[in-house]
């Protein structure tokens, strides 16, 4: 079974600084997708960034970028120029490619990010 | 608003009662998912539909839980004989028939007293 581990329950960053959230996963599959989701307090979960395992190039979305190390099964999220609105719980998620179980997302435990003004 | 909607947003019930939650997905999305999230944890997969067919159920979905998606539109999740351990946020998500983004609703928070 696939597992996703986020070893940092809490992180904090100063506004305008850079922070990196860690995620490792375990799978025997070669084709899969990785995601970072953001869940602000009392608000719904939204997708921040995704990475296809077959792509070597790291995904980037504005101030958000990932460091995807397939061999190490590591998928970290870097937030540059942190803003107060980035404060939220961040979840790393895995989804295998294909099959009926290829649709479920497997989430990590989450990292609570605080942005200090 | 054309996002995923869930009703009710909050539900308080007494142990042993039955509860039903509703999820309305984004209209063109043929896939619908249910997850459960307990406080301080990541969501856990419960079940998923493609159109009206329930294609996968997690072991977490005991026989007290049942989900339906009649006509492939909205979905309901019913919990019979609720227990205190059922207290959680129940999240619904929908997607197109693609490997990419699942769009989440705001969730229904269930408290069993």
Question: B50 pLDDT exceeds 60?
Answer: yes
Share of chain A above pLDDT 70, in %: 96
Contacts of A34 in chain B (CB under 8 A): none
**Beta-carbon separation of B106 and A44 below 8 A:** yes
Residue of A nearest to B41 (CA): A109
Which of A44, A95, A110 is facing B99, going by the closest CB pair? Answer: A95
pLDDT at A101 over 70: no
A104 in reach of chain B (CB within 8 A) = yes
**Separation between Cα atoms, residue A68 and residue A73, nearest integer Å:** 8
Beta strands A64-69 and B103-104, pairing class:
unpaired
Q: What is the pLDDT of residues B63-78, one digit of tens each?
A: 999 999 998 899 999 9
Mean pLDDT in chain B?
93
CA distance B6 to A6: 28
Q: For chain B, where are the E strands, in sequence order?
A: 5-7, 10-13, 19-24, 31-37, 44-50, 53-57, 65-68, 75-79, 88-95, 103-104, 108-112
Chain B residues with beta carbon closer than 8 angstroms to that of A110: 40-42
Most confident residue range from A70-74, A99-103, B59-63? A70-74
- Quickly count: other Cβ atoms within 10 Å of residue B25's Cβ: 26
Residues A25 and A3 sit within 8 Å (Cβ to Cβ): yes
């Amino acid at each position: 079974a696939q597992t996703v581990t986020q070893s940092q329950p809490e992180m904090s960053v100063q506004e305008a600084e850079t922070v990196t959230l860690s995620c490792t996963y375990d799978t025997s599959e070669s084709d899969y997708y990785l995601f970072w989701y953001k869940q602000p307090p009392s608000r719904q979960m939204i997708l921040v960034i995704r990475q296809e395992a077959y792509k070597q190039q790291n995904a980037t979305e504005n101030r958000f970028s990932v460091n995807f190390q397939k061999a190490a099964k590591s998928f970290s999220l870097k937030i540059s120029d942190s803003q107060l609105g980035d404060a939220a719980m961040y979840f790393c998620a895995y989804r295998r490619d294909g099959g009926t179980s290829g649709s479920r997302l497997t989430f990590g435990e989450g990292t609570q990010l605080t942005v200090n003004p | 608003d054309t996002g995923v909607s869930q009703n009710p947003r909050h539900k308080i019930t007494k142990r042993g009662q039955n509860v039903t939650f509703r999820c309305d997905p984004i209209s063109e999305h043929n896939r619908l998912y249910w997850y459960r999230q307990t406080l301080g944890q990541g969501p856990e997969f419960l079940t998923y539909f493609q159109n009206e067919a329930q294609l996968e159920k997690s072991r977490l979905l005991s026989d007290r839980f049942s989900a339906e998606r009649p006509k492939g539109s909205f979905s309901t999740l019913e919990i019979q004989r609720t227990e205190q351990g059922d207290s959680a946020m129940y999240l619904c998500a929908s997607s197109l028939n693609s490997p990419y983004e699942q769009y989440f609703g705001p969730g229904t928070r269930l408290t069993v007293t």
